[in-house]
Amino acid sequence: MQAIEEAQLHCPHCDEPISLLLDLSGGTQAYVEDCQVCCQPILVNLWIDHANDDYHVDLRREQD
């Protein structure tokens, strides 16, 4: 698994495709990033599964 991974996802506000750069070297993380299309804040939850060399990303609106 690379330290930086580009993920193609969809904004939970406008449902437009967005691209996020994920830092997989930092372990499990939660942070806020603005959508590149509608500028609304997105809560990004990133879980790292080192045993399977995989990760999972969940995007939510802040108010959810």
- Distance, in Å, from the CA atom of 49 to the CA atom of 62, rounded to the nearest integer, reads 25
Report whether 24 contacts 2 (CB < 8 A): yes
* Cβ contacts of 15 within 8 Å, gap of 6 or more: none
Comparing 56 with 52, the larger pLDDT belongs to: 56
Q: Which residue has the tokens 């804040």?
A: 41
Pick the more confident residue, 50 or 24: 24
What is the pTM (predicted TM-score) of this model? 0.86
Torsions phi, psi of 23, nearest 5? -90, 100
pLDDT at 1: 62
Task: Tell me the per-residue pLDDT of 21-42, one tens digit each, with 9 for 90 and over.
Answer: 999 988 899 999 999 999 999 9
Task: Report which of residues 13 and 53 the model is more confident about.
Answer: 13
For residue 50, the model assigns a pLDDT of: 82
Q: How would you write 20-46 as a 3-class SS string?
A: EEEEHHHCCEEEEEECCCCCCEEEEEE
